């Protein structure tokens, strides 16, 4: 049985709207779109940002190669508790994404193949987005990057300014409809285009 308490997302949304940015966990369809760039045939290191109660994490864990690592970062202790209980195949990390370099170093992670970004990037403070992208830019080679959205196509111009190649996977079976931007190759001038308050 899931450790998810009824209406947890709604309660969090009412208290911390811009940080949570959703009244319910993502649907399985959105989880599948966010996990579509995972290669089930080879071990990978995957880092999920803003894992919440694990809606994407559990689908990513089911798709990944058995020797892959999935490090799921979540700042909210209540979400983290559910995540850790419900998705034991992932390494649930209770931390702010601003601590990513230290948290990953502590776990011996030197290379990352894929980032699953479930953060509400456009509504977050610029300092948080800068920390995420500074970390991304510090990795060699730059990992592939899938970004969740519940505003289909709206932020496509933004992600095209940040990345060289961007493909959008539409998900109608989500409330509201959403999708995933699958991105590779940071643009050289990504710093000029970072969103945030």
Residues in contact with ligand SAM by CB under 6 A are 19-22, 25-26, 50-52, 55-56, 73-76, 79, 96-97, 118-120, 128
The CB-of-50 to ligand SAM minimum distance in angstroms stands at: 3
Spacing of C-alpha 25 from chain mean position: 13
d(CA 7, CA 197): 28
Nearer to ligand SAM by Cβ, of 118 and 162: the residue is 118
34 contact partners, CB below 8 Å, separation of at least 6: 26, 56, 59, 60, 116, 118, 146, 148, 180
22 contact partners, CB below 8 Å, separation of at least 6: 9, 13, 52, 120, 150
The CB-of-67 to ligand SAM minimum distance in angstroms stands at: 23
Nearer to ligand SAM by Cβ, of 25 and 179: the residue is 25
Nearer to ligand SAM by Cβ, of 45 and 103: the residue is 103
The CB-of-164 to ligand SAM minimum distance in angstroms stands at: 26
First to last CA, the chain: 39
Nearer to ligand SAM by Cβ, of 25 and 143: the residue is 25
Nearer to ligand SAM by Cβ, of 95 and 186: the residue is 95
Residue 4 near residue 68 (C-beta atoms within 8 A) = no
The CB-of-183 to ligand SAM minimum distance in angstroms stands at: 17
- Phi–psi pair at 148, nearest 5 degrees: -75, 145
The CB-of-190 to ligand SAM minimum distance in angstroms stands at: 19
d(CA 43, CA 163): 25
């Amino acid at each position: 049985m899931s450790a998810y308490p009824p209406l947890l997302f709604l309660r969090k949304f009412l208290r911390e709207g811009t940080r949570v940015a959703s009244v319910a966990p993502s649907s399985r369809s959105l989880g599948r779109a966010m996990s579509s760039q995972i290669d089930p045939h080879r071990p990978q290191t995957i880092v999920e940002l803003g894992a919440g109660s694990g809606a994407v994490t559990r689908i990513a864990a089911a798709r990944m190669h058995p020797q892959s690592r999935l490090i799921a970062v979540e700042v909210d202790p209540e979400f983290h508790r559910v995540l850790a209980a419900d998705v034991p195949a992932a390494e649930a990390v209770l931390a702010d994404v601003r601590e990513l370099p230290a948290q990953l170093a502590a776990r011996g992670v030197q290379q990352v193949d894929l980032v699953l970004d479930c953060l509400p990037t456009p509504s977050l403070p610029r300092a948080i987005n800068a920390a995420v992208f500074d970390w991304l830019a510090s990795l060699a080679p730059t990992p592939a990057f899938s970004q969740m959205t519940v505003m289909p196509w709206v932020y496509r111009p933004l992600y095209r300014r940040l990345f060289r190649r961007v493909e959008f996977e539409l998900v109608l079976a989500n409330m509201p409809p959403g999708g995933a931007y699958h991105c590779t190759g940071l643009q050289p001038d990504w710093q000029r285009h970072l969103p945030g308050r």
